Amino acid sequence: MATPLTIADLKKLAQRRVPKMFFDYADSGAWTESTYAANESDFSGIKLRQRVMVDMTNRTLETTMIGQNVSMPVALAPTGLTGMQHADGEMLAARAAEEFGVPFTLSTMSICSIEDVASVTTRPFWFQLYVMRDKDFVLGLINRAKAAKCSALVLTADLQILGQRHKDLRNGLSAPPRFTPKHIWQMASRPFWCLDMLKTKRRTFGNIIGHAKNVTNITSLAAWTHEQFDPRLSWADVAWIKEQWGGPLIIKGVLDPEDAKAAADTGADAIVVSNHGGRQLDGAPSSISMLPAIVDAVGDRIEVHLDGGIRSGQDVLKAVALGAKGTYIGRPFLYGLGAMGKEGVTLALGIIRKEMDITMALCGKRDIKHVNSSIIAGRQ
């Protein structure tokens, strides 16, 4: 294939390079995948307002997310098992994001550890926290993120019970991965992926093994992962997390205006309007369809971000126009990483930047900070 021009091109390339069970892991949603599909398709229902005879020189996409400078309002979303899309995946993606001037968010369930990512980056990254039953472990993670100088904690609220993803169940993908002859065949049929994987020692959850109580190997890790997500997590716990962390806090996975108000009451710095990329409650509305009601509900009390279904710079622009101060991409950067490693992540970001820049100009705007609902057709 010639140089990929779209995120869809990168997706095709990733499918050819990444073993099926890991490609499917990235590419799956919960149950019927209706929410996953709506996340993407609801963007195309929003039409842009074409403007002409406006000076379009000297454009800029630079802005801030939680007061931190970003070269465009797009962060890399936290994604688990990223080091299975490509060897050392989190380290490569973090470096690509750093060079691009956008935030990288490391998942609790990453393959490379907080310390691994800190060792290859010079700018602060963000750390995503899953709240586990073992509060000593949670505190340990928070302290490790502080020691690594992470500049935001992203608290994920929508995965205390794991949504069912049929592709993963059919593929027999477990956490941590256990390999059957079928899996070994799927990996062997992707020789470049295998060669890279043989060169690294990072093949299991780096933030957990050796850090959680009594988790020293794959067997104890499997038992731990299954029982640890704490289903009692409540708004009251946010105060404790905020106090232990003491830095910028983002609450991710808010899809309802009432929850958004409760999140604002906690004093957090931002919320991410998100349904976990359609991987949790299938049947929930798309993120973009809920954005205007959530922005109305919280006003200026808390910064609002969005993820889910962003596949182009146009999608980012639409989210910003409807009130998001920033956005995150999950699968788009995973496709890039799976397809071409670090270069693929840079390419994914570059594709989105170019599309955003051209679209902004054709809507008659020069500065992303001036983009608002006036660029949406029918909203003036």
Q: Which of 295, 251, 365, 318 is nearest to 74 (CA)?
A: 318
CB 182 within 8 A of CB 172: yes
Q: Find the binder of ligand FNR among 23, 25, 126, 245 (CB under 6 A).
A: 25
**Contact flag: residue 274 with ligand FNR (CB under 6 A):** yes
Going 269 to 273 to 277 to 280, the CA torsion angle's sign is positive
Instruction: Name the active-site residue from 183, 276, 305, 370.
Output: 276
Instruction: Supply the minimum distance, in Å, between the C-beta of residue 253 and ligand FNR.
Output: 7
Question: Which one of residues 35, 113, 156, 346 is an interface residue with ligand FNR (CB under 6 A)?
Answer: 156
| Nearest residue (beta carbon) to ligand FNR | 330
Name the one range near ligand FNR by CB under 6 A: 42-50, 77-85, 178-186, 255-263: 77-85
> For ligand FNR, which is the closer residue by CB, 256 or 362?
256
Annotation-wise, does 156 bind a ligand? yes
Tell me the one-letter amino acid at 346.
T
Shortest reach from residue 103's CB to ligand FNR, in Å: 12
CB 152 within 8 A of CB 272: no
Write the interaction track for ligand FNR spanning residues 305-344; mark x where CB under 6 A is met and - where it is not: --xxxx------------------xxx-------------
- CB of 311 vs ligand FNR, minimal distance in Å: 7
According to CB under 6 A, which residues from 231 to 250 bind ligand FNR?
none
- Toward ligand FNR, which CB reaches closer, 79 or 121? 79
Residue from 183, 190, 276, 318 touching ligand FNR (CB under 6 A): that is 276
Our answer to whether residue 276 is catalytic in this structure is yes
Our finding on whether 77 is near ligand FNR (CB under 6 A) is yes
Rounded to whole angstroms, the Cα distance separating 168 from 22 reads 9
Half-sphere exposure (CA, 13 Å, Cβ side) for 358? Answer: 8
Residue 129 near ligand FNR by CB under 6 A: no
The stretch among 1-9, 76-84, 185-193, 297-305 that binds ligand FNR (CB under 6 A) is: 76-84
> Quick check: 280 binds ligand FNR (CB under 6 A)?
no
- Contact call for residue 109 and ligand FNR (CB under 6 A): yes
Three state DSSP letters for the chain: CCCCCCHHHHHHHHHHHCCHHHHHHHHCCCCCCHHHHHHHHHHHCCCECCCCCCCCCCCECCEEECCEEECCCEEECCCCCHHHCCCCHHHHHHHHHHHHCCCEEECCCCCCCHHHHHHHCCCCCEEEECCECCHHHHHHHHHHHHHCCCCEEEEECCCCCCCCCHHHHHHCCCCCCCCCHHHHHHHHCCHHHHHHHHCCCCCCCCCCCCCCCCCCCHHHHHHHHHHHECCCCCHHHHHHHHHHHCCCEEEEEECCHHHHHHHHHCCCCEEEECCHHHCCCCCCCCHHHHHHHHHHHHCCCCEEEEECCCCCHHHHHHHHHCCCCEEEECHHHHHHHHHHHHHHHHHHHHHHHHHHHHHHHHCCCCEHHHCCHHHECCCC
Q: Does 289 interact with ligand FNR (rule: CB under 6 A)? A: no
Question: Which residue among 4, 19, 73, 80 contacts ligand FNR (CB under 6 A)?
Answer: 80
Which C-beta is closer to ligand FNR: that of 121 or that of 280? 280
Taking CB under 6 A as the rule, does residue 107 contact ligand FNR? yes
Of the listed pieces 78-86, 132-140, 162-170, 295-303, which binds ligand FNR according to CB under 6 A?
Answer: 78-86
Could you tell me the two tokens for 1? 């294939």
Give me the phi and psi of 374, to 5 degrees please. Answer: -65, -15
Q: Which residues bind ligand FNR (CB under 6 A)?
A: 25-26, 39, 77-80, 107, 109, 128, 156, 252, 274, 276-277, 279, 307-310, 329-331
The residues assigned a catalytic role are 276
Binding site members: 25, 78-80, 107, 128, 130, 156, 165, 252, 274, 276, 279, 307-311, 330-331
Q: Which residues are annotated as a binding site for glyoxylate?
A: 25, 165, 276, 279
**Which residues are documented as binding site for FMN?**
78-80, 107, 128, 130, 156, 252, 274, 307-311, 330-331
